[in-house]
A and B are shown apart, each in its own frame.
Chain A
């Protein structure tokens, strides 16, 4: 959203409509321009040492990821409106070198 400048001065955001004058920055979606967001989510795993080497034990090779775009007009999820929601299943290969 456009983060309004408080009373048109300084680095503080104004929230009340009576004090918003200017924009400090806008982290919303501009029209007709792709916006990319990347997220990295670790798989559940345990890390240990064996014979001085790092060992990773993957606890689950499958992950289900829910990705949801929620519009929050009042800045909280309780009053948010879900616009898009997709579910993806991700699987890691077993074995390997």
Chain B
């Protein structure tokens, strides 16, 4: 009888604390995290934007942002390589098999390729990794690869990543992005039941918006830093510091006339316009002591007109 009483008291003492969200404050519940790729895709569904912004949406749909996880297949395969060659071989990573992967492990890729995964559970990281590994497997049938491609392509860098989640860098100054808001060039109302508020983002036409992903160098906030791109670092220190004045958006969106299909080297015309290429030739006979050697001198001058080094990587 005594033991029953102690169990009852223990239960009463622990009950109130069981409602406190992990790492949060009682009464201020954290937003629910996505537990699957489908849930995360739904959480960041921007297909409704197409209704009013059709041209912009179609431009984006052609961009690499629209396929940031699957890519041409190569990106998904690189995710698999990161797990198999990197994480599973590192003594202190905590990953012995793909099923051990957590969100923190994939942030080396997904900080930029899928930043919204911060709003997902470890189950989503495991699901993406499992599909990426399966995509690259020899015994995976074509129809299964098609299914994987479709699933992985449902999560990407879309309207809500740039125009909501990453639209504000200085949150203590400008406030935290809200789920019912979208951010653009002005304040006002927005004809969308899910996002009825339009707010001006102070950085929407600034390079720092792109710099959040396009790389300063090693990401030291990670337990195991790495760098994928270094373009923004090059932009700051080799372009702006040397007198360059244009922004990422001015070249990749406006001058290129590609808008939200902001290509780089894949667009031959854009790539060509980035580098001045001059060639001079001279035929002559070189005299090596008494020996006459006929040859051609080819002199090439290249001037990179982009706001960063070419190539990046």
Looking at the complex, which one of A56, A90, A96 makes contact with B291 (CB distance below 8 Å)? A56
**Contacts A31-B242, A83-B275 hold; do A88 and B298 have CB atoms under 8 A apart?**
yes
What 1/0 mask marks residues of chain A from 68 to 97 whose CB sits below 8 Å from any chain B CB? Answer: 010101100000011110101011100010
Q: A41 to chain B: which residues have CB within 8 Å?
A: 295-296, 298
Chain B CB within 10 A, most for which of A32, A37, A40, A47: A32
A43–B296 touching, CB < 8 Å: yes
CB-based contact B301/A34 at 8 Å: yes
Interchain CA distance A58-B243 in the complex, whole Å: 50
Q: How far is the CA of A47 from the CA of B78 in the complex (A)?
A: 53
Q: Are B302 and A69 in contact (CB under 8 A)?
A: yes
Tell me whether A31 and B238 are in contact (CB under 8 A): yes
Check A28 for interface membership: any CB of B closer than 8 A: yes
Complex Cα distance, B228 from A37, in Å, reads 28
Per-position 1/0 for B297-313, Cβ under 8 A of A: 11111111111111111
Which chain B residues lie closer than 8 Å to A81 at the CB level?
Answer: 265-266, 268, 271
Asked whether A36 lies within 8 Å of B299 as measured between CB atoms, the reply is: yes
Docked complex Cα distance between A30 and B237 (Å): 11
Per DSSP, are chain A's interface residues mostly helix, strand or loop, or mixed? strand
Contact A17 B109 (CB under 8 A): yes
Which residues of B lie under 8 Å from residue A65 when comparing CB positions?
281, 296, 298
- CB pair A36–B309 under 8 Å, yes or no, is no
A28-B311 in contact given A16-B82, A18-B87, A19-B86 (Cβ < 8 Å): yes
Q: Mark A23-53, 1 if CB is under 8 A from B, else 0.
A: 1001011111111111111110101000001
Let me know if A92 and B309 touch, CB within 8 A. no
**In the bound complex, CA of A10 to CA of B242 (Å):** 30
Shortest beta-carbon distance from A46 to chain B in Å: 11
Alpha-carbon distance between A88 and B285 when the two chains are bound, in angstroms: 18
CB distance A38 to B299 under 8 Å? Answer: yes
Contact partner of B298 (CB less than 8 A), chosen from A38, A53, A69, is A38
* B299:A28 contact, CB within 8 angstroms: no
Instruction: List chain A residues, Cβ under 8 A from B294.
Output: 42-43, 45, 56, 58, 92
A45 B293 Cβ-Cβ under 8 A: yes
How far, in angstroms, from A73 to B312 measured CA to CA in the complex? Answer: 9
Chain A residues positioned under 8 Å from B311 (CB to CB): 1, 28, 71, 73
Instruction: Check B277–A20 contact: CB distance below 8 A.
Output: no
For this complex, 11 residue pairs linking A to B, each with C-beta atoms less than 8 Å apart, are: A16-B85, A30-B238, A30-B309, A31-B238, A36-B299, A38-B298, A56-B293, A73-B311, A88-B281, A90-B282, A91-B283
List the interface of chain B (C-beta within 8 A of A). Answer: 74, 78, 81-82, 85-87, 108-109, 217-218, 224-228, 230, 234, 238-239, 242-244, 265-266, 268, 271-272, 274-275, 277, 279, 281-285, 290-313
Which 7 pairs between the two chains have the least Cβ-Cβ distance? A18-B86, A29-B304, A43-B294, A84-B277, A90-B283, A56-B292, A21-B218
What 20 new A-B contacts, CB under 8 Å, besides A37-B299, A54-B292?
Answer: A4-B313, A18-B86, A18-B87, A20-B228, A22-B217, A30-B304, A31-B305, A32-B242, A32-B304, A34-B303, A36-B302, A38-B297, A39-B298, A39-B300, A43-B283, A81-B266, A84-B275, A86-B279, A90-B281, A92-B283
